Chains A and B, each alone.
Chain A
Amino acid sequence: MDFSTLIQVLDSTLRLATPLLLACLAGLFSERSGIFDIGLEAKMLISAFFSAAVAYTSGSVWLGLLAGVAASMVFAFIHGLASITFRGNQLISGVALNFLASGMTVLIAQSWFQQGGRTPSLIGGARFEGVELPFAIGPSDAAAAGRPLNEMLSEAGPLQLFYSELISGHSILVYIALAAVPATWWILFRTRFGLRLRAVGENPAAVDTAGISVVGLRYAAIGIVGILCGLAGAYLATGLQAGFVKDMTAGRGYIALAALIFAKWRPWHALGACLLFGLLQALALRTDVVETLFPFKMPVQLLDSLPYILTVVILAGFVGKAIPPRAGGQPYVKER
């Protein structure tokens, strides 16, 4: 495998890791506050649809993004209502919302666009274009020189290739996702809010005794989940692909959950886990590369299921123990 192929694989790794990372950080906030969320998938999916639908209708990807985040917030709020206010089973609420999103998106898409449950393809301003960083070779340089981009990149040195193809040229949401990692770390471990949020996931009664609202903190976490999953879904439909198709999240919400456990509920490790799982997805798309990497014939199904297998291994505690926040999944009942 030559250097430019490596860069290409890493480039698609980064793209594929972005929705995982955003959803994974969403799960991080949720589970750190003591709320299990197996409905990350639902929020991504509903956001993917509404961002694509509104972006197509209005022609503005930013309005689409806004709509996607709003839809994701609505679903997050329903989950909050079920698991915080009505103290229901958080897992069941997640299952229900996954069904609801999967059905609703197709139903609305069909009655809105009549294209068999998908949105029309997004073009121009209805999509997130790649951001060209300074000094990188991008489409505008290629247009100015009047030559194809591939040709210009193939002449560039390794450092320039690395910078132009891997670092530059992604949509703004990729950079936001990457920036969200240190931001999450800072919020969780360096702010008062973060301390309280972590405390509420471990021992809500203690937080309550200190006069801080458990319900309020958990709803705040739910709100952050809504925003992050909204970004993840919008990126899927308007960045990674051009439009919404049925069930386009394809289990990414669950992979994000797996990454969260893999990372043992820590932000920087989440970045690592999501990049690893993104790499596996990228390799599954490049069977030619896989053939050169492994001496035996690697079944693509094994590649697809590696994130899940690795997560089970981690959960089994053979490679370090994954200990979830202690109050996770339990509704908090205030003492009377």
Chain B
Amino acid sequence: MDVMPKWADVVLVPVVSLLLAMVISALVILGIGEDPWAALKLMVQGSFGSTYGWGYTLFYATNFIFTGLAFAVASHASMFNIGAEGQATLGGLGVALVCLALPWPHWALALPAAMVGGALFGAAWAFLPAWLAAKRGSHIVITTIMFNFIGAAVLNYMLVNVMRPAGSMDPASAKFPDGTNLPSLHDILAVVGIPFSKSAPANLAFIIALIACVVVWLLIWRTRFGFELRAYGKSESAAVYAGISPTKIIVVAMLISGGLAGMMAVNNVMGEAERLVLNSVEGAGFIGIAVALMGRNHPLGILLAAILFGFLYQGGAELALWMSIPRELIVVIQGLVILFTGALDNMVRMPIEKIFLAIRRSKQAAGE
């Protein structure tokens, strides 16, 4: 029986959790001797106050949409894919290899190839954990964590020993050819005559992320496979009884998940850095978990949550720039948001449920 109406579950609980996380964050800012109200104003101003700010906010949000969708797809099949970090790292490698392979004449040709490259490498990195989970019963959480570390080592090896241009000390790949440079939001919006900051990194990948949201929604709620995925996620035994193959669901769900995480590299590697560097993912894989949790594993929710985290990232960078608050404040706020919206969900939910129960009882009593 649903105690709460749907809107309370989808909107009220996350908003209250978020408020709690914000209150604690404000106390942390107070604790290190700064003014939380001024900090919040600066964050909002810095991330939404100009098209330059928006450009950064949407750039970060693009990363989080991909990793959030990646986590959500696996989550619908009851798989806890904590490996988006490693899958996105390998996706970066795939994108870089594609971009450096040919002297691409135009981005319109390079983009589909890079998307396939990123998705393939990301999916490949998810395959072994998925296969081990399906066939050998290995715990997917532990194997994907291990693969994050192995992936970091692989990237390190490739950059230091293979992809580093001769004579360069920097563990990074060569710069991609000009034909792979994606149009920025400035270029895209200029077509329809909307002025947008030229120096912000948001690019075409944001549009691809929006399309990915729609595709994932269609996949999960409008296809036969999506139905099987959700059925398996709700009850494994019922799904098996209905003739759904667990191996197929686990492996395909994880491949899609890894592929989405890998496609993130189109944004950060191809769209922004235009070369492959160490640690280009910068924790976006883990933030995807928070984004999917807040967004209740629904693409629309993930989009909104990703923009919220994009705001935190860009706002946090502004804080580090203009106030004497280290950038690590963002990490603290992230941790608090994940803690309250994810782990302590019941702490918020239980009292709200009690309130709704009380209201219902008093209504029943009045009706009799």
Question: A residues bordering B, Cβ < 8 Å?
Answer: 36, 38, 78, 81-83, 86-93, 95-104, 106-108, 110-111, 117, 251, 254, 257-258, 261, 299, 301-302, 304-305, 308-309, 311-312, 315-317, 324
Contacts and interface: CB of A to CB of B under 8 A. Distances in A.
Contact of B326 (A88, A106, A311): A106
B346 A86 contact: yes
B156 interface: yes
A59 B142 CA distance: 40
Given A86-B344, A299-B161, A302-B153, A93 B339 contact: yes
Contacts of A96: 335-336, 338-339, 342-343
Given A89-B342, A257-B145, A305 B80 contact: no
Contact of B150 (A88, A103, A308, A316): A308
The main secondary structure of chain A at its interface with chain B is: helix
B108 interface: no
A61 to B, nearest CB: 26
B4 interface: no
A317 B149 contact: no
Contacts, number: 152
B343 A316 contact: no
A103 B334 contact: yes
Interface residues of B, number: 50
Contacts of B336: 96, 100
B312 to A, nearest CB: 12
Nearest to B338: A96
Given A103-B328, A111-B33, A257-B145, 10 more contacts: A82-B344, A83-B343, A87-B346, A88-B343, A96-B335, A97-B335, A111-B31, A301-B154, A302-B157, A305-B153
Nearest to A114: B324
A91 B286 CA distance: 12
B61 interface: no
Nearest to A323: B137
Interface in B168-210: none
A316 B339 CA distance: 31
B342 A88 contact: yes
Contacts of A93: 339, 342-344
B224 interface: no
A102 B338 CA distance: 14
A304 B153 contact: yes
Contact of B146 (A81, A86, A312): A312
A208 B192 CA distance: 67
Given A100-B336, A305-B153, A91 B328 contact: no
Given A257-B142, A258-B146, A301-B156, A95 B344 contact: no
23 contacts: A38-B82, A86-B345, A87-B346, A89-B342, A92-B338, A97-B335, A97-B339, A99-B335, A100-B336, A104-B332, A104-B335, A106-B328, A107-B32, A108-B32, A254-B145, A301-B153, A301-B157, A308-B149, A311-B146, A312-B147, A315-B132, A315-B138, A315-B142
B157 A99 contact: no
A99 B136 contact: no
Given A95-B82, A104-B332, A309 B343 contact: no
B106 interface: no
Contact of B330 (A81, A101, A103, A308): A103
B335 A117 contact: no
A251 B141 CA distance: 16
Contacts of B212: none
Nearest to B346: A86
Nearest to B132: A316
A82 B326 contact: no
Nearest to B29: A107
B149 A81 contact: no
Most chain A CB inside 10 Å of its own CB: which residue of B154, B157, B160, B331: B331
Contacts of B214: none
Nearest to A261: B142
B143 interface: yes
Given A258-B146, A261-B142, A99 B334 contact: yes
B335 A308 contact: no
A95 B293 CA distance: 12
Q: Which 8 A-B pairs have the closest CB atoms?
A: A103-B331, A99-B335, A100-B335, A93-B343, A103-B332, A92-B342, A96-B339, A96-B338
Contacts of A309: 146, 150
Contacts of A100: 331-332, 335-336, 339
A331 to B, nearest CB: 9
A88 B344 contact: yes
